[in-house]
Structure 1
Amino acid sequence: MPELPEVHALVNDLSPRLSGRVVASFDVVSFAALKTFDPQVSSLAGRTVGPITRHGKYLDIAFDGVDHDRLHLLIHLARAGWIRWRDSAPKPSTAPGRGPLAARLVLDDGSGVDITEAGTKKSLAIHLVRDAAEVPRVASLGPDPLGPDFTESVLAGILAGAGRTQIKGLLRNQAIIAGIGNAYSDEILHTARMSPFAPASMGPGEVSRLYAAIQSTLRDAIARADGLAPSELKQEKKSHLQVHGRAGQQCPVCGDVVRQVRFADSSLEYCATCQTGGKPLADRVLSRLLK
């Protein structure tokens, strides 16, 4: 799933390609992905692409009209969505609606971007709105962890207010902190040497350690992705993960085996030596199967 660093990289890659260009068409192939009906997507034709930004894990492509009215295309790539740049006009499809293509933005010279989603579980979300805040999940986002207002004291207040909430779940809660998902929450907690099941309420030293881990993990990922094409981002992310997706492999810090805890529709990875004092956490799915 693309998280804050990958969406940040997409903004940097797409901005010089799209901003200032005129739209020829925007076509939605997967109608389940389109979550709005007013304005109509056909109204993007003839508009000029404005600034491209992000809100947490949402990509925001703005479009300016002749009367300076602005529309926003909000894209949440979910688990298997992606953005693909095309230098030339696409070939006509012989089987529309049967491949991964969800939507296609075509510029006036035929170049543009394809919005795709792999797999059978479809959760990609596309919104065309006049204001980004019209999308409820954007309006309810917590602070950006890399924003200037996200200080250590702000994090301390968030953690104190969360009480006994498990820290792994708190980091993934977009209404509390925007942009961190399953992979980077595993990486942050490994860097901070914290159990994913530790309570959010913690002492000042632990707050400082967690804040530093959030900043270094996300900023390092952004620095590594700087200048990469969208096609290279997934592999770059995967190749630098310390624990996430590495169950059964050696921890690169201490050499212990990376362990996994599975849930109904996701999992987390951690190092017992680095994070839990050597104590393995219960794998709840496996425990139920063994009963």
Structure 2
Amino acid sequence: MPELPEVEALAQFLEKNAVGGVVGRVDIAALSVLKTFDPPITDLQGRDVTGTGRWGKHLGIGCDGLWLITHLSRAGWMRWIDNPNPAPPKPGGKSPLALRIHLFTPEGAMPAIDFTEAGTKKRLAVWLVRDPQEVPGIAKLGPDALAVSEAEFATVLKATSQRVKSALTDQMVLAGVGNAYSDEILHTAKISPFATTGTMSAEKLSALYGVMREVLTDAVDRSVGQDAARLKGEKRSGMRVHARTGLPCPVCGDTVREVAYAERSFQYCATCQTGGRVLADRRMSRLLK
């Protein structure tokens, strides 16, 4: 799933390449992707692209008074197409294309912005609104992970009394961090994913805040300026434990381990984070002693 660094990079990519253009035809290839009907999606046609924005993991394109907001979810992505097929896509086809926005640029080019989704679980969502706060997920967001102050960070985490892994990924607590970067943040901070926020000391919360900013800022710096097609690879290349189950920890050499639950999993290093204690895979429904 694209998280704060990738969505920030996509927003800045669109700021550079799409702003100043004019929206042409808008093609809906997956009928389920559009979550609003007023204003209609056809109202985008003929509008200038005036800006971009990011709210947590939501990406926005401003179009002269309207905002096209998308949440890419687990398998969604944005692609910039220099020479799109002029023929409208067939709704309900097997293509991953969900929505295409044709553009006319000041230079006379006619590119398109594609929103795609792999797999069969269609969770990619698009809203057309007059105010981004009309999107339910945006209205409920906690403070942005790169804008929150250290004092506010400590306050919101202490108030949750959740496991720190859950708190970092709860968008109503803190916006922008997902499964991958929370793994990286906790590994760098040497904190167990199962540590409880309500019992964490002020010193540990302060250290966690600093590490969070360091990890996210580094990821943004590596991501911004990359072509949209390269962002996924850039994200994977920077990971130390996430999605590296069975590989050696780059810090201590211990094996990176995994805890799986429901449809997700997270990775950690027992030596670096849990004092050597191995956390059981949740599919076993117990914790190894």
TM range, normalised to the smaller chain?
A: over 0.9
- Distance (whole Å) between structure 1 residues aligned to residue 5 and residue 37 of structure 2: 30
Instruction: Quickly say closer, same or farther: Cα 1:246–1:236, change in 2 above 3 A.
Output: same
1:101-180 to structure 2, matched below 5 A, reads 101-108=97-104, 109-147=109-147, 150-163=148-161, 165-180=162-177
TM-score, length-scaled by structure 2 = 0.94
Match of 1:217 among 208, 215, 218: 215
2:83 maps to 1:88? yes
Structure 2 letter corresponding to 1:75: T
Matched-pair contact (CA < 8 Å) for 1:192–1:210:
yes
Give the drift of 1:116. Answer: 0.5
- 2:267 corresponds in structure 1 to 269
Structure 1 residue 95, shift from structure 2 partner:
5.5
CA distance in 1, matches of 2:8, 2:57: 8
The Cα shift of 1:286 comes to 3.2
C-alpha separation in 1, matches of 2:284 and 2:146:
37
Shift of 1:104: 0.2
Distance of 2:193 and 2:37 partners within structure 1: 40
Deviation string for 1:173-217 (max 9, x for gaps)?
001100000000111100110000100121111011100111011
- Alpha-carbon distance between aligned partners in 2 of 1:129 and 1:196, rounded to the nearest angstrom: 37
Q: 1:10 aligns to what?
A: 10
Aligned-partner Cα distance in 1 for 2:59–2:276: 40
Partner of 2:95: 99
In percent, how many aligned pairs have the same letter? 50
For normalisation by structure 1, the TM-score amounts to: 0.93
For residue 159 of structure 1, report the CA deviation from its aligned partner.
2.0
* Distance of 1:12 and 1:84 partners within structure 2: 14
Mean Cα displacement is larger for which, 86-95 or 34-43?
Answer: 86-95
1:170 aligned partner, one-letter code? A
- The equivalent residue for 2:227 is 229
Equivalents in 2 of 1:8, 1:102: separation in Å? 21
CA distance in 1, matches of 2:77, 2:2: 8
Distance 2:99 2:150 in 1: 40
Query: Is contact 1:85–1:112 with CA below 8 Å preserved after alignment?
Result: yes
**Contact 2:29 2:89 (8 Å CA) reproduced:** no
C-alpha distance in structure 2 between counterparts of 1:152 and 1:112, whole Å: 40
Deviation at 1:287, TM superposition (A): 4.7
1:200 equivalent in structure 2: 197
Summarize deviations over 1:21-47 as a string: whole Å, max 9, x none.
111111211111110111110111110
Secondary structure in 2 matching 1:52: strand
Question: Separation in 1 of the partners of 2:84 and 2:281?
Answer: 49
Q: Distance in 2 between matches of 1:51 and 1:93?
A: 26
> What is residue 52 of structure 2 aligned with on the other side?
52
Is the partner of 1:49 in helix, strand or coil? coil
The alpha-carbon deviation at position 88 of structure 1 amounts to: 2.2
Q: Which runs of 5+ in 1 are unaligned?
A: 65-69
- Which residue pairs with 2:40 in the alignment? 40
CA distance in 2, matches of 1:32, 1:117: 12
Q: Indicate conservation of the 8 Å contact 2:8/2:224, yes or no.
A: no
Aligned-pair CA distance for 1:258: 0.3
Do 1:143 and 1:178's aligned partners in 2 also have CA atoms closer than 8 Å? yes
Deviations 1:48-101 (A, max 9, x none): 00110100000010111xxxxx11000000001111101123253686532000
Assess if the C-alpha contact under 8 Å between 1:27 and 1:41 holds in 2. no
- What secondary structure is seen at the aligned counterpart in 1 of 2:175? coil
* 1:110 Cα deviation after fit: 2.4
Matches of 1:250 and 1:89 in 2, distance apart? Answer: 43
Q: How big is the alpha-carbon RMSD for the aligned residues of Structure 1 and Structure 2?
A: 1.3
Write the distance in 1 (CA, Å) between the matches of 2:186 and 2:9.
23
Instruction: Verify the 8 A CA contact 1:90 1:110 in the aligned structure 2.
Output: no
